[in-house]
Amino acid sequence: MFIFFISVIFVGLVYLALAFLINKDNARYLLAGYNTMGEEERKKFPIDNYLIFFKKFFYRMAIFTFISSIILYLSFEEEMAIMLWAIFQIVPYFYFIYKSLKY
């Protein structure tokens, strides 16, 4: 179970790093899709609004990662908790992709 919690902490920290480290200045280098746009397309893209959404999503994912791991660990056997936690990490990305399409 130690490895599970190390994984949870690592994933949570990656989500927090994404939320806090990506900003308007480095987005042109780090955000997929935005970094391949031409200069005119970048001027039209609402990067400020997108970054607000992006940061909120990954901040919430970091919190969700920790909370879901604790609940799953207390509710299920070890193997089931790990599998459910991994699935729970994938599902929110469907929402992220859906909401990102408006930008």
Angle between helices 47-75 and 92-100 (to 10 degrees): 170
User: Are 102 and 52 spatial neighbours (Cβ–Cβ below 8 Å)?
Assistant: no
Confidence of residue 5 (pLDDT cuts 50, 70, 90): confident
Q: How far apart are CA 18 and CA 15, in angstroms?
A: 5
- How many folded domains does the chain comprise? 1
Q: Calculate mean pLDDT across residues 17-28.
A: 91
Q: Is the pLDDT of residue 1 over 80?
A: no
Which range of residues forms the domain containing residue 36? Answer: 2-100
Q: Calculate mean pLDDT across residues 3-22.
A: 92
Confidence of residue 22 (pLDDT cuts 50, 70, 90): very high
Global pTM? Answer: 0.84
Q: What is the pLDDT of residues 25-77, one digit of tens each?
A: 888 888 888 888 888 988 888 999 999 999 999 999 999 999 999 999 999 99
